[in-house]
Copies of this chain bind each other. A is one copy, B any other.
């Protein structure tokens, strides 16, 4: 009977680390019971061990890595987030890491060494055999976040004149097939990919059938310098499971598998979310100080825009002094505008990322956002004018609120879509600081409209 590793679905924390296990591991660590520690870790999936290392405090993490030493699981290394990976690289010697690194696929080797200083990189690369070393050094020549960094060299290729039988015989004779591969890549004599065949298709045909009759010729190759974001998009859009990576000459240099693309897809969605909220590349393992320092610049930008809004308000000091109700009500118009703009912005950023918002429908979507913003502006103008009248007994104040609300909600819709589209057009990330920029617009316009109208109509 197979071991069922699954928790029941009712469990809220399905797949999360089990608190009792974590406690037992930390207890073993505390008393220095190395065998017990390794026994526990050995039963966990490498990805879960990596999560554990990320979640515990740094001193304990360092201690655990030291205790593990040369026996560290290579698969855990490739699962670690950057901060923790660096802890491992600083704690263990190149000799201790040697055995583990050799067992990794080349894409994981690249991840491990790419941020090291030259001397340390050299030391670790010395642990690899020549073939791997050349492959890793080659990958490092490609830009960060490109297909070249994501690909692995481990793959199975065959010439078109091979038969199903040839492939099967080759695979049976080979003693180092990659752990992960789903397609045989058919190449011409210059190593240019000319087709691919699913393993299932190979197995479903008699030994005599030639690969060229089985292969899918409509091949989506990935240029080695393509951005990882585009790679992830292609995998998701076209349901790819594996794709050949080619250099400028069209020669096969590696493959990317779907699990790596899935990682990138999640990272990119998360990056959009963080950029919208004004958060950098922080990780759960970061210290308090790192967190505070990374968030500071974004908050500073917000402070400057907040001061800008204050300057706008200060222009109307005399009006506020005359009618103090304006000070009470002015945040409402600004806040509604900020919220409406954030709604539009969030949808737009995602739609640009998923290529749902393109040149062919941009104008229509801009129109839609402007009109939708105005429609909601009218609805909320009706509500807020009643509040103004009932609360402060001034129909004129209600009218000022209503007009300012409609104007600011229309501006919000427009700013929320124009800002990310413009950033995308000039080659910047559409999410980058657009939240701050857009809410600055709605704050300034909101205060200006509300206080300006009040100056004219109420004084």
Contacts and interface: CB of A to CB of B under 8 A. Distances in A.
Given A2-B217, A258-B262, A313 B331 contact: yes
Contacts of A227: 9
A332 B312 CA distance: 12
B360 A22 contact: yes
Given A236-B263, A273-B272, A376-B299, A310 B329 contact: yes
Contacts of A12: 424, 427
A182 interface: yes
B331 A306 contact: yes
B356 A295 contact: no
B336 A306 contact: yes
A235 interface: yes
B237 A47 contact: yes
Interface string A226-242: 11001001111111010
Interface range for A: 35 or more
Interface string A70-105: 000000000000000000000000000000000000
Contacts of A269: 266, 269-270, 273
A218 B273 contact: no
Interface in A195-236: 195, 199-200, 202-206, 217-223, 225-227, 230, 233-236
Contacts of A134: none
Given A203-B199, A327-B327, A334-B331, A307 B276 contact: no
B204 A172 contact: yes
A138 interface: no
Contact of A6 (B220, B237, B358, B424): B220
A458 interface: no
Interface string A282-304: 10100111011001101110110
A31 interface: no
A221 B14 CA distance: 13
Interface string A45-77: 101100100111100000000000000000000
Nearest to A75: B239
Contact of A16 (B259, B306, B355, B443): B355
Contact of A288 (B193, B288, B368): B368
Given A200-B171, A331-B313, A282 B347 contact: yes
A393 B151 CA distance: 61
Given A217-B3, A262-B262, A334-B331, A277 B19 contact: no
Interface string A148-174: 000000001000000000011001101
A131 interface: no
B274 A347 contact: yes
28 contacts: A4-B221, A5-B221, A9-B225, A15-B237, A47-B239, A51-B355, A55-B358, A56-B360, A262-B265, A265-B266, A269-B270, A273-B273, A273-B346, A277-B345, A282-B347, A284-B361, A291-B368, A291-B369, A295-B340, A295-B376, A296-B376, A298-B339, A302-B339, A306-B335, A309-B335, A310-B329, A320-B324, A331-B331
